Amino acid sequence: MAEVRDRNLPHQVQVHPQYRFDNTTGGGYGAKNYHSGPSTSQVLAVLTLLPIGGTLLALAGLTLAGTVIGLMLATPLFIIFSPVLVPAAIAIAMAVTGFLSSGAFGLTGLSSLSYVLNRLRYATGTEQLDLDHAKRRVQDMTEYVGQKTKEVGQKIENKAHEGQVGRT
């Protein structure tokens, strides 16, 4: 028989929030407004994309059919000329692989050198010198542009003054 003293202990009550998925007021997780239809932009998107998707799907089917028919017609030629085509295909594949791996190795090498140079510049502190040099050049260029602007303004003012003197 079960002991009676277990029933006298207080129990902990855990409360978990419950979300209603049919709530149409917009509150709670997963609540959706089922009474409104699709928006105008959604309808226009479907009306626009449906014919485009159908056309592309039809073109994909036609392309697949043409490829299968072409492969069926070309298979006898591949079999007859295989002593020539197989080595040619292998040579082309090796050449393409060589070009691609050469480019990959070149890019990897350049990026590695760039990384090493940037780390060396950072370690030696020359990047700060480069930054200071760039700031000086920008300041010099600003002063130069300001001076040129003043000179052009003076020339325009002199020309205007000469034009007024010539009229009187």
Question: Taking the CB of residue 133, how many other CB atoms lie within 10 A of it?
Answer: 11
Residue 147 sits in the same domain as residue 98: yes
Q: What is the DSSP string of 27-68?
A: -STT---TTS---HHHHHHHHHHHHHHHHHHHHHHHHHHHHH
**Domain total of the chain:** 2
Residue 47 sits in the same domain as residue 108: no
Per-residue pLDDT tens over the stretch 113-130: 888 887 777 777 666 667
Residue 47 sits in the same domain as residue 91: no
Domain limits for position 111:
82-155
Per-residue pLDDT tens over the stretch 30-40: 555 555 788 88
CA-CA-CA-CA dihedral for 24, 27, 32, 37, to nearest 10: 60
Full-prediction pTM beyond 0.85? no
Residue 90 sits in the same domain as residue 64: no
Please, which pLDDT band fits residue 27 given cuts at 50, 70 and 90? low
Please, which pLDDT band fits residue 94 given cuts at 50, 70 and 90? very high
Decide if 77 contacts 71 (C-beta within 8 A). Answer: no
Classify 83 as helix, strand or coil: helix
